[in-house]
Amino acid sequence: MGYAVVFSEAAAQDLEQLFDFALQRELDSETGDLEIPARALQAIKDAIRFLESSPFACRKLGRSPFLRELVIPFGGSGYVALFEIVDQHTVMVGAVRHQREDDYH
């Protein structure tokens, strides 16, 4: 059984903002690596594919067994994707944040 993974509009915007933030950080750095933003976005997308087969393997968030988060390692920290198992066929990603952010709940 596989799940279709869909992104809410907010989560899609989160990906754009994360990419833009990483790009700006690298542009502002004396030793900036302009490949890092693309690699970070790819790491997020690769990790999200895990939800197609095993969303219940991710840690629960709160009391609902269907609201969960996926930790996505990247570099010295990483990202966290908040998602909901909507039904037996669909997972909805509601937010994606850098691990040091805490405003997505």
Q: Is the pLDDT of residue 100 over 80?
A: no
Per-residue pLDDT at 104 exceeds 60: no
Residue percentage of the chain with pLDDT more than 90:
83
Q: Which domains does the chain have, with CATH numbers?
A: 4-98 (3.30.2310.20)
> What's the whole-model pTM score?
0.88
Instruction: Give me the pLDDT at residue 1, please.
Output: 64
pLDDT of 103 above 80? no
Number of neighbouring beta carbons within 10 Å of residue 75: 10
DSSP element (H, E) containing 38: helix 36-48
Which of 104, 94, 100 is CA-nearest to residue 51?
94
